[in-house]
């Protein structure tokens, strides 16, 4: 009986007899303890079936009795099977989740995983991750990696690689001014290649999410910048593998030297993958040229929902590329854009405001935490809520909204009944302003599902189709603040 995990430990502790009750006259002489599931340990000999199961568990690679024994005996075998059975014997034959959970805790005791519902997939994904993270590019056996990927592919839906070993290269010598540099065009250039991902990815036909970090962990004093480089060939190998994945939804490349040329190669190769819903390029080195390519991807792709590009290196031109794609009303159901940790100037804020007063439905979430907005730029970002009716969430934490931006924010929220959540932590606003913001957001939540009607607070022109104000807004004029409306001329 699988008591230890069919009946949870917390349940057993909750319903056990209290210590003071065990010392009472009615309990101290009780000989039958129904709540003690281990009462017979050390008193009765093990049944013959348990001894037979113990013998069979040691020769699982030679004899597989699972399809010929009773269910209760199969449960006993699952508890007795060693956790280090080779995968080529255990993957196709063992489906018991408790066995795979025990195997995971035995092989990876330092990893804490919460909320796992499919332990077999988690264990096999971690085994493949460990193999790929520690594989040496100079000694990489493609056949061995392909065999492992084929074995675990039916059970893997997510794959995350937190590091990739770089190809071995000699340590660069100390520069000598008297040394003649080798400029011969036939010399072999240095390549920062990693293991080829194509033969592995093309076998993972059920993969839905992939996360990559091109770099090494725990280097200590051995840190060198070249350990975090990767080449165009790495990107091409990754893209050739992604072509065979018909269910891929999320692609993440974080904390890597992903610059404009590399992100352009990736976007060009995945633009026809209509299953992709999320791109996460946080903490990379994407500049203006790469952001223009990303803007073109947003405009062309039909299913992209979430874009995360926090902590990169783009400026006004890159923001204009994304803003242009949003203003063209792309077919993709864009839900979230994350620009956090990218310092933005007044011109960036002006371009943002110009784009979002024209975007009526997409995106629903904008995250611009810690972007350096202050003064006029902060006032523009707060004022765009006057005209935008698509946003339901705006995160502006760690920006400076004090002064006139604070008053503009309140004025915009009083007229916007669609926004449901605003993150204003560490924005230097007063407690009274925060309390008023909470009241207005609560008002908007109570109006969810109701049709908006004209009122003295929101005139008809400002409800759903504020075309008049949109065309009055000049995106190239940094002195114009959304919310400071021109005088309305009554229609005749």
Strands 209-212 and 421-423: unpaired
Q: Is 315 exposed, middle or buried (0-12, 13-18, 19+ CB in 10 A)?
A: middle
More confident residue, 383 or 484: 383
What's the pLDDT score for residue 452?
58
**Rounded average pLDDT over 454-480:** 46
In whole angstroms, what is the distance from residue 270 CA to residue 268 CA?
Answer: 6
What's the pLDDT score for residue 30?
76
What's the pLDDT score for residue 127?
95
Percent of the chain with pLDDT over 70: 82
Q: Does residue 462 have a pLDDT over 50?
A: no
Q: Does residue 307 have a pLDDT over 50?
A: yes
What's the pLDDT score for residue 476?
54
What's the pLDDT score for residue 468?
38
Q: How far is CA 58 from the centre of its chain?
A: 41
What's the pLDDT score for residue 472?
41
More confident residue, 215 or 388: 215
In whole angstroms, what is the distance from residue 207 CA to residue 209 CA?
Answer: 6
Length of the chain: 492
Q: Does residue 464 have a pLDDT over 70?
A: no
479 pLDDT band, cuts 50/70/90, is: low
Q: Taking the CA of residue 333 as centre, how many other CA atoms within 13 Å lie in the half-sphere pointing to its CB?
A: 5
Model confidence over 404-439: pLDDT tens digits?
Answer: 899 989 988 988 888 999 999 999 999 999 999 999
Model confidence over 259-283: pLDDT tens digits?
Answer: 999 999 999 999 999 999 999 999 9
Q: What angle do CA 198, 199, 205 make, to 5 degrees?
A: 90
310 pLDDT band, cuts 50/70/90, is: very high
Q: Does residue 186 have a pLDDT over 80?
A: no
Q: Which domains does the chain have, with CATH numbers?
A: 40-117 (no CATH), 119-169+191-257 (no CATH), 343-449+460-486 (3.80.10.10)
């Amino acid at each position: 009986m699988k008591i230890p995990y069919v009946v949870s430990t917390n349940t057993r502790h909750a319903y056990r007899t209290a210590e003071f009750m065990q010392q009472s006259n009615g309990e101290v002489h009780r000989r039958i303890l129904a709540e003690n599931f281990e009462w017979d340990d050390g008193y009765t000999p093990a049944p013959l079936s348990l001894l037979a199961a113990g013998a069979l568990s040691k020769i699982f690679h030679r004899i597989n009795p699972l399809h010929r024994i009773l269910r209760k005996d199969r449960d006993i075998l699952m508890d007795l099977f060693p956790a280090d059975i080779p995968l080529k014997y255990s993957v196709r034959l063992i489906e018991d989740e408790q066995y795979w959970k025990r195997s995971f805790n035995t092989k990876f005791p330092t990893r804490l995983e919460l909320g796992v519902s499919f332990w077999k997939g988690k264990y096999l994904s971690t085994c493949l991750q460990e193999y790929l993270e520690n594989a040496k590019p100079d000694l990489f056996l493609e056949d061995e990696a392909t065999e492992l990927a084929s074995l675990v592919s039916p059970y893997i839906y997510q794959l995350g690689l937190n590091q990739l070993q770089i190809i071995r290269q000699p340590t660069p010598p100390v520069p000598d001014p008297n040394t003649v540099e080798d400029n011969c065009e036939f010399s072999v250039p240095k390549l920062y290649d990693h293991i080829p991902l194509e033969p592995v990815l093309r076998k993972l036909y059920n993969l839905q999410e992939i996360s990559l970090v091109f770099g090494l962990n725990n280097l200590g004093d051995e840190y060198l910048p070249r350990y975090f480089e990767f080449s165009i060939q790495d990107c091409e190998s990754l893209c050739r593998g992604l072509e065979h994945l018909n269910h891929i939804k999320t692609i993440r490349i974080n904390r890597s030297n992903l610059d404009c040329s590399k992100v352009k190669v990736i976007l060009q190769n995945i633009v026809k993958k209509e299953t992709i819903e999320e791109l996460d390029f946080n903490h990379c080195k994407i500049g203006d040229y790469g952001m223009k390519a990303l803007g073109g991807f947003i405009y062309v792709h039909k299913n992209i929902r979430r874009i995360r590009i926090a902590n990169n290196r783009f400026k006004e031109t890159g923001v204009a590329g994304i803003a242009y794609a949003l203003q063209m009303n792309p077919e993709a159901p864009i839900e979230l854009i994350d620009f956090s940790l990218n310092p933005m100037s007044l011109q960036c804020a002006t371009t943002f405001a110009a784009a979002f007063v024209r975007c009526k439905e997409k995106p629903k979430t904008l995250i611009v935490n810690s972007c350096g907005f202050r003064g006029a730029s902060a006032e523009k970002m707060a004022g765009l809520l006057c005209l935008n009716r698509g946003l339901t969430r705006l995160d502006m934490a760690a920006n400076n909204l004090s002064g006139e931006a604070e008053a503009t924010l309140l004025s915009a929220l009083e007229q916007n009944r669609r926004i449901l959540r605003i993150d204003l932590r560490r924005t230097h606003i007063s407690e009274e302003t925060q309390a008023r913001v909470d009241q207005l957001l609560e008002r908007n939540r109570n109006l969810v599902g109701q049709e908006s009607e004209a009122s003295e607070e929101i005139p008809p022109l400002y409800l759903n189709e504020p075309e008049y104000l949109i065309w009055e807004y000049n995106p190239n004029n940094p002195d114009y603040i959304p919310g400071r409306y021109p005088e309305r001329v009554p229609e005749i």
